[in-house]
Amino acid sequence: MRIKYYIKLAWKDIKTQPGIYLPYALMISICLCFQYIAGYMNIHSNYEVLKMGKTLTPFILGMSNTIFVIFVAVLLWTFSITLRRQQTRRQGLYRILGLTRKNLLILNIVETFGLCIISLLFGSILCAVFGQLLFMIAGRFAQQQLVDGFGIDTFILLELWIFYIGTHLLIMIRDSIFITKHNPLKMLRKEKTQELPKANLFYTVSGIVLLAAAYIISLRVDYLYTALNVLMWAVIMVIIGTYFLYNGAVIYLLRKLQSKEKIYYRSKHMLSISNLLFRLRSYATSMASITILLSMLILTFSMCTSLYSGVEDTVRKDFMDYEFKLYGLLDGNEGREDDEYNNARTLNEQKLSSLIKKHHLTVEKDTKLRIVQTSNTVALRENTMFMGAVFASGDDAGIYQETTDKVLGINAFGLDGYNELASKKETLKDDEILLLTNQPIKDVKVRMLKDDGSEEIIQFKVKRKPLKQDSSTKDVIMIVPDEKAALFSQYLYGVYDDEILNTPSSYYYMSLSGSKADKLALGKELQSDKYYLECEDYYTTFNITLAMYGSFLFLGILFCIIFIFSIFLILYYRMQEDLYENKRQFSILYRMGLTKREIAREFSREQRIIILMPPILAVVHCLFAYPSFHEFAAIFDFGEGSFSMRILVLCCLFVITAFAIYHIILQMALRRKILVK
């Protein structure tokens, strides 16, 4: 046969079964378009002008692109298996008509790559036509323009084409091996012989153990810096455990129900349990896939929505009730003892006052927060916090760090600035410190190393207050008297050294009255290289954070669309196979004496379990995953309420409602079809 005949035959197959091929081709086109948008955003977006965006945002976008590639590869491989089942039936017919295995192999190659090329061409057109629109939507979320113009990046497009063609090459090799080793005619006959699935004890026990272990890990995550590793392993365990649960535990439960005569031999149970057992031979993997996709959909959308809606809380917690935060501001009219150039770049309170007047602004309120130490670590053992020289090797029991200790981050500030910022009136005795933490710390021990090699253990009483910011639930903020700031800085390092914090440093907070544009202009000037100063202003930081979270929300929506489309394809292909496989079953039940209404009722009962079980289990997964994902959000300092339980619950309710509506609509359609026939 000439190649043109294979092309005609492949095109005829696609035209005669558009319900099988077109959804698969559309999925490839949409995935290509979304992957191109994500890749283009990572390379060409304006994150270089953002203070935080040029480091964190491209990293997360790059990680999202990697996840996108892995997820799409799994989707293509999974849905190609469904196409393989449909092709097997036709190939059995072609063998009867005289085609050889070689002919089938060539036909399979033409169909696979032909469908792939057509889908990629259509996806590339989608990129060109809708790319600008998608970036406009992303810009609306970020409330700023993310891309200066939009064009076709041939390098990104070429990479994606290579990825999709390479994936379909692997699919083609798999199908070729299948055709070579199996006789499609025999497989077509074998489809009609059904056997009851056996309960696999290994799958049953493994699924329950893996899910239980993942749930326990998620609920017991209480250490901020290990949450990411724990989350990764818990997710892997949930995915594997879910597949084992459907292929093992559910079948095992149905077989047990079948063995109970009082339950099984009731009229409403007998047919339902038997049919469910037969259906689970091919439904178990699909139900597990839907469960995993729904879990990813709920967690992704609720996480991104929570972050985007909590932008103001995230920024406000760093600025308290102020608009500017400066570090490196000198008192009064002080200057540096360096040359004239460095002295001109030094900013003191007098120069700052002139700059504020220059931008037509006035100071409403201001305060100073004395910095003792930032970004240090302490060890927590039971209810005692150890600081100082506690991370050295040694055998002094009770003071050196042990492997079971938690290493916590600590920031230390002066008492006067804290009282003014937080509107408090705290007082401290000589042997007292104030700890803002949610850890049950009752006392503090400091290990100091002296010049003569001896050690000194200093103990402090603790006044503990809860830390409201969810993002710092495992951190410690220590408040000490301002007059002892230098001494406590030495305590944190564990050595007596007068050079530590010889020069007092402070955060200077201020709020100004005037227009937002003038405040942004002042912030831009203070953040330039003109002065030896670190400055953050609320409005610029808000725009930066909004740009990041808006990008994350946009990418999250793209992921969610892929998840929804994948779930739709699984349900669609399952419904197609139901209609194909149940014709013979309905005919047999009708001949056995069941009325059409009874057949429709039994079929509805089976479908209710098959359709509603995945969303219910997905909701359980998400509720147990909440603590881990809350900690994951806290790692990136996403602020109070970073992962909202309220939004998560609303997403869960929406998914269950959507599947319930889908079940009702499907049953109405199938019942009408059964009753008519």
What local confidence, expressed as pLDDT, does residue 164 receive?
A: 92
Out of 68-77, 312-321, 370-379, 609-618, the most confident range is 609-618
Band of the pLDDT at 333, cuts 50, 70, 90?
low
What local confidence, expressed as pLDDT, does residue 394 receive?
A: 47
pLDDT tens-digit map of 400-416 = 556 666 777 888 888 88
Q: What angle do CA 280, 281, 284 make, to 5 degrees?
A: 50
What local confidence, expressed as pLDDT, does residue 62 receive?
A: 65
379-401 as b/e, with b when 16 or more CB fall inside 10 Å?
A: bbbeebbbbbbbbeeeeeeebbb
How far apart are alpha carbons 60 and 62 in whole angstroms? 5
- Supply 195's token pair: 């056997």
What local confidence, expressed as pLDDT, does residue 470 receive?
A: 45
Band of the pLDDT at 307, cuts 50, 70, 90?
confident
- On the question of pLDDT at 336 being above 60, the answer is no
What local confidence, expressed as pLDDT, does residue 209 receive?
A: 92
329 phi, psi to nearest 5 deg: -80, 130
Tokens 């429709």 belong to 600
Tokens 């009229």 belong to 267
Band of the pLDDT at 628, cuts 50, 70, 90?
confident
* Beta partners for residue 107, in sequence order: none
Could you give the percent of the chain with pLDDT greater than 90?
7
Q: Are strands 455-465 and 384-388 parallel, antiparallel or unpaired?
A: unpaired
To the nearest 10 degrees (0 to 180), the angle between helices 538-591 and 56-96 is: 20
- On the question of pLDDT at 47 being above 90, the answer is no
- On the question of pLDDT at 56 being above 60, the answer is no
What local confidence, expressed as pLDDT, does residue 643 receive?
A: 66
What local confidence, expressed as pLDDT, does residue 619 receive?
A: 92
Three-class secondary structure of residue 503 per DSSP: coil
How far apart are alpha carbons 491 and 372 in whole angstroms? 10
Band of the pLDDT at 473, cuts 50, 70, 90?
very low
Please say whether the dihedral angle defined by the alpha carbons of residues 177, 182, 187 and 193, taken in this order, is positive or negative: negative
- On the question of pLDDT at 120 being above 90, the answer is yes
- On the question of pLDDT at 48 being above 60, the answer is no
Band of the pLDDT at 397, cuts 50, 70, 90?
very low
The DSSP code sequence of 402-430 is: -TT-EEEEEEEEEHHHHHHHHT------T
**Average predicted confidence (pLDDT) for the chain:** 77
Tokens 């003038």 belong to 518
pLDDT tens-digit map of 66-96 = 777 877 887 788 788 777 777 777 777 777 7
Could you give the percent of the chain with pLDDT greater than 70?
74
Q: Which amino acid is located at 219 in the chain?
A: L
Residues shown for the chain:
677
What local confidence, expressed as pLDDT, does residue 210 receive?
A: 92
Residue 533 and residue 330 in contact, taking contact as beta carbons nearer than 8 Å: no
Band of the pLDDT at 577, cuts 50, 70, 90?
low
Strands annotated E in 93-195: none
How far apart are alpha carbons 232 and 220 in whole angstroms? 15
How far apart are alpha carbons 157 and 61 in whole angstroms? 17
What local confidence, expressed as pLDDT, does residue 289 receive?
A: 84
Task: Tell me what the mean pLDDT of segment 111-121 comes to.
Answer: 90
pLDDT tens-digit map of 169-182 = 999 898 888 888 87
Band of the pLDDT at 122, cuts 50, 70, 90?
very high
Residues 6+ apart with CB under 8 A from 526: 324, 326, 347, 355, 533, 535, 537
* Beta partners for residue 388, in sequence order: 447
Q: Are strands 443-449 and 384-388 parallel, antiparallel or unpaired?
A: parallel
How far apart are alpha carbons 61 and 554 in whole angstroms? 11
What local confidence, expressed as pLDDT, does residue 248 receive?
A: 82
* Nearest residue to 52 (alpha-carbon basis) of 673, 636, 658: 636
Residues 6+ apart with CB under 8 A from 622: 295, 298, 299, 302, 648, 651, 652
How far apart are alpha carbons 43 and 46 in whole angstroms? 9
- Phi and psi based region of residue 494 (left: phi greater than 0; alpha: psi -120 to 50; beta: remaining): left
Q: Which amino acid is located at 501 in the chain?
A: L
pLDDT tens-digit map of 639-652 = 545 567 888 888 88
Q: Are strands 406-414 and 476-480 parallel, antiparallel or unpaired?
A: parallel
* Nearest residue to 396 (alpha-carbon basis) of 329, 443, 448: 448
Three-class secondary structure of residue 457 per DSSP: strand
Out of 73-77, 239-243, 394-398, the most confident range is 239-243
Three-class secondary structure of residue 94 per DSSP: helix
Distance of CA 333 to the CA centre of its chain: 50
Task: Tell me what the mean pLDDT of segment 8-17 comes to.
Answer: 81
What local confidence, expressed as pLDDT, does residue 175 receive?
A: 86
- On the question of pLDDT at 158 being above 80, the answer is yes
Distance of CA 226 to the CA centre of its chain: 16
* Range of lowest pLDDT (113-117, 168-172, 329-333, 560-564): 329-333
**Between residues 192 and 593, which one has the greater pLDDT?**
593
pLDDT tens-digit map of 514-532 = 998 899 889 888 888 777 7
Task: Tell me what the mean pLDDT of segment 528-538 comes to.
Answer: 82
Task: Tell me what the mean pLDDT of segment 280-305 comes to.
Answer: 84
Domain boundaries, the chain: 1-193, 198-320+540-677, 321-539
**Between residues 107 and 583, which one has the greater pLDDT?**
107
pLDDT tens-digit map of 311-320 = 887 788 778 7
pLDDT tens-digit map of 557-575 = 888 888 888 888 888 777 7
